[in-house]
Amino acid sequence: MGEKARTEFRKLTPDDAEIVAELDFKCFGANDACNSKYFFKSAQDERKEFWVCEHDGKIIACAGAEINSDTAEIESLAVDPEYRRQGIATILLIKLINAIKKRGATFIILEVRPSNKAAIELYKGFGFQIVEREKDYYLDEDAWIMAREFLDGQDYFQTYDA
């Protein structure tokens, strides 16, 4: 009888930087991906909150945000294409939002390509709304600015508590 695959969610470490940068490139391409230096610094930056998902010891997803006082900006959410549609992005987003809220942020923003329908639907499912269009944000496309406010400590996500 074979062993059951093990999936773990944990904080990003500096040692993860190269692998997460490769994942980001695989998901977003050369124009939009962050490099290993960015992830290395993010793992050590007190203002950042980054999580990874490991499946059988292989990093298959990453999500992160920068938190400044009561506002956080989701900077990245990437899931290896081979592991999409399995709920990994949902769990990572729950963990990230819970961690952001525990650090005192009540307002979260993000940018997303209008062509990225799956991501837009994921964010809408978490109560994010499109609030603005940022012209020429990407080299080849505008961006939707999406936002979500959490009032009086409400709306914590109980499942998969960070």
Mark whether 156 is an active-site residue: no
pLDDT at 160: 40
Whole-structure pTM value: 0.84
**Which of 111, 138, 149, 160 is the catalytic position?**
111
Using the predicted structure, report yes or no on whether residue 15 has a pLDDT greater than 90. yes
Domain boundaries, the chain: 7-109
The pLDDT of residue 2 is: 56
Distance between CA 86 and CA 101 in Å, rounded?
Answer: 25
For the domain 7-109, what is the CATH code? 3.40.630.30
Which tokens go with 161? 């508590």
pLDDT digits (tens, 9 = 90+) for 127-142: 899 998 888 888 888 8
Residue 111 bears catalytic tag:
yes
* CB contact burial 20-31 (16+ within 10 A = b; e otherwise): bbebbbebbeee
pLDDT by residue (tens digit) across 35-44?
Answer: 889 999 999 9
**Would you call 77 helix, strand, or coil by DSSP?**
strand
> What mean pLDDT do residues 71-94 have?
92
| Percentage with pLDDT > 90 across the chain | 54
Please give the pLDDT value at position 151: 67
Report helix, strand or coil for 146.
strand
The pLDDT assigned to 158 comes to 43
